[in-house]
């Protein structure tokens, strides 16, 4: 048998050798006019690597019995390879999930004023830690501390990398090696491994759970105090709600109890809006100024949730406590960059002006977008989505409910509207939906929706560049 097989194998290898010899040399492919633009933009080393990789892959294909592609085809493949190599990993996407402050998609959209401030801070030197009055070293927190004091009524303020860092630093600075009282109903887990018990452990604090999951009373706190108690903490139930037979101790009461025992009262607000959102027709979220007025000594909240600014953790409160927090060596490790401070300062200035907030803060504008406006966008884009999805899907507009996201107001929903793409055939509908979701994600600007009730829902609340969406749907549509 083997002597029968041998001539065949010999023939195959002869054809392969012939095909391999037809492949162009690296330099010849590199000199193809089609690659001139890529060479000019990205330089010879990167394009050459793409050429070598393409040729290597091509050789493998030929050995497996393929035929040599034309030079033009090879050049096009190299060009595509270069495009993939230089495409940013942090891709722009269309967020059609219906969640406005979406942690996985980058949370708040920043105001133009904040974006301009960041660009300016990147291009040149800035008085980041420089006291221009005295002509010497300053404190980077001073960039925003005054604004934060004015906006929240706090005596002092400091800023760190995010709210998780704010909670960690506050706990460590004020209660390391000692006990922290917190209600059992507030041992929160925020997505992405922020779990209150773990943060307490990381800060070196001993967690003392008070009350029960659904009911905690003032007496429970009174009884939990001991000689090693350093802090009473309240965490805002950002991403869940306990309903039914519940009881929590009001903030004013917690503050009174803490102060009677001579320990500070800290509130982790999580989202922390700086303005009363109910004035804008949105559900009301607790404000840092309310928490301080209720007697909290320190309040922490995020910069990139309802505030609509950059990722940051803001700590406001009593001057002596903020000073202790700032003195902790961990503060140096968690401090923010000039880019964050530039964006945060510009965002806070918008709040301080109290002028045309919804025009200037895009996150607020998205939250406030009227349902009729979103429905109109759905009706305008429905035909393009239907064409893109093809005849295997039925397309319709349907009212739906957007979420604020990032733990803010977990049970509140914003009336919205979606383009719904539902598979026509029941059989294999799961796979068809996954394929359609994949095709939308493969677009130049990936489109991210959500699968629900055996259909793909594209909530258009957060669609801003409708023309760009329509262009790419038309390009890729059938
Ligand atoms: C979101 C949140 C955090 C974490 O804040 P990041 O800014 O994401 O680090 C902590 N606590 C609460 C109550 C939150 O809602």
Q: How confident is the model at residue 244 (pLDDT cuts 50, 70, 90)?
A: confident
- Flag whether pLDDT at 40 surpasses 60: yes
pLDDT for 416-460, tens place per residue? 999 999 999 999 999 999 999 999 999 999 999 999 999 999 999
pLDDT for 306-318, tens place per residue? 999 999 999 999 9
- Flag whether pLDDT at 337 surpasses 60: yes
CATH of the domain spanning 94-102+366-477: 3.90.1150.180
Q: Is 270 touching ligand 1 by the criterion CB < 6 Å?
A: yes
Distance between CA atoms of 371 and 360, rounded to whole angstroms?
20
DSSP string, 421-455: EEES-STTHHHHHHHHHHHHHTSSS-EE-EEETTE
Query: When comparing pLDDT for 406 and 269, which is higher?
Result: 269
Q: Is 163 touching ligand 1 by the criterion CB < 6 Å?
A: yes
Q: Is 340 touching ligand 1 by the criterion CB < 6 Å?
A: no
The minimum-distance atom of ligand 1 relative to the CA of 408 is 15
Among 302, 306, 313, residue to substitute to test ligand 1 (most atoms within 8 Å of Cβ): 302
Supply angle C-alpha 296, 298, 304, rounded to 5.
115
Q: How far is the CA of 279 from the centre of ligand 1 (A)?
A: 24
Distances in whole angstroms, Cα of residue 85 to Cα of each of 67, 79, 99, 322: 26, 10, 31, 46
**pLDDT mean over 292-321:** 97
Q: How far is the CA of 164 from the centre of ligand 1 (A)?
A: 6
DSSP string, 87-144: S-SS---EE-SSBSS-GGGTSPPPPHHHHHHHHHHHHS---SSEETTTTEE--TTHHH
**pLDDT mean over 201-219:** 91
Query: Any idea which architecture 112-357 has in CATH?
Result: 3-Layer(aba) Sandwich (3.40)
What's the confidence (pLDDT) of residue 242? 76
Q: How far is the CA of 270 from the centre of ligand 1 (A)?
A: 4
What's the confidence (pLDDT) of residue 1? 42
Distance between CA atoms of 430 and 174, rounded to whole angstroms?
52
Buried b / exposed e over 313-334, threshold 16 CB at 10 Å, is bbbbbbeebbebbbebebbeeb
Supply angle C-alpha 199, 159, 361, rounded to 5.
110
Distance between CA atoms of 370 and 363, rounded to whole angstroms?
14
Q: Which of 246-250, 268-272, 470-474 has the highest mean pLDDT?
A: 470-474
Between β-strands 265-270 and 298-302, what pairing exists: parallel, antiparallel or unpaired? parallel
Q: Is 310 touching ligand 1 by the criterion CB < 6 Å?
A: no
């Amino acid at each position: 048998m083997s002597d029968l097989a041998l001539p065949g194998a010999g023939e195959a290898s002869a054809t392969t050798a012939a095909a391999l010899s037809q492949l162009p040399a690296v330099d010849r492919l590199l000199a193809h006019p089609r690659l001139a633009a890529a060479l000019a933009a990205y330089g010879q080393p990167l394009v050459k690597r793409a050429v070598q990789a393409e040729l290597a892959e091509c050789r493998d294909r030929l050995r497996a019995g393929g035929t040599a592609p034309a030079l033009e085809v090879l050049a096009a493949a190299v060009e595509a390879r270069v495009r993939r190599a230089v495409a940013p990993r942090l891709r722009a996407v269309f967020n059609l999930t219906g969640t406005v402050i979406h942690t996985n998609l980058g949370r708040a959209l920043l105001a133009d004023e904040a974006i301009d401030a960041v660009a300016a801070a990147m291009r040149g030197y800035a008085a980041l830690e420089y006291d221009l009055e005295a002509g010497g070293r300053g404190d980077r927190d001073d960039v925003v501390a005054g604004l934060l004091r004015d906006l929240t009524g706090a005596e002092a303020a400091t800023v760190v990398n995010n709210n998780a860092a704010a909670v960690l630093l506050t706990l460590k600075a004020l209660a390391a090696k000692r006990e922290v009282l917190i209600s059992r109903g507030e041992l929160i887990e925020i997505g992405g491994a922020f779990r209150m018990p773990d943060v307490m452990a990381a800060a070196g604090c001993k967690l003392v759970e008070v009350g029960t999951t659904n009911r905690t009373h003032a007496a429970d706190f009174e009884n939990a105090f001991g000689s090693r108690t350093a802090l009473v903490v309240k965490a805002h139930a950002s991403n869940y709600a306990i309903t039914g037979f519940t009881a929590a101790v009001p903030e004013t009461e917690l503050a009174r109890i803490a102060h009677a025992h001579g320990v500070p009262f800290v509130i982790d607000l999580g989202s922390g809006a700086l303005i009363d959102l109910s004035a804008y027709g949105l559900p009301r979220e607790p404000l840092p100024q309310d928490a301080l007025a209720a007697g909290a000594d320190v309040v922490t909240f995020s910069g990139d949730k309802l505030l609509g600014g950059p990722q940051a953790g803001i700590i406001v409160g009593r001057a002596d406590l903020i000073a202790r927090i700032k003195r902790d060596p961990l503060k140096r490790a968690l401090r923010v960059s000039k880019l964050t401070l530039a964006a945060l300062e510009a965002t806070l200035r918008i709040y301080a002006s109290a002028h045309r907030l919804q025009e200037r803060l895009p996150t607020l504008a998205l939250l406030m977008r009227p349902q009729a406006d979103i429905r109109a966008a759905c009706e305008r884009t429905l035909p393009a989505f239907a064409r893109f999805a093809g005849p295997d899907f039925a397309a319709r507009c349907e009212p739906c409910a957007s979420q604020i996201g990032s733990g803010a107001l977990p049970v509140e929903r914003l009336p919205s509207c979606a383009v719904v793409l539902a598979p026509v055939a029941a059989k294999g509908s799961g796979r068809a939906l996954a394929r359609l979701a994949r095709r939308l994600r493969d677009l130049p600007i990936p489109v991210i929706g959500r699968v629900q009730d055996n259909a793909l829902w594209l909530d258009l609340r957060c669609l801003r560049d409708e023309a760009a969406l329509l262009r790419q749907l038309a390009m890729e549509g059938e």
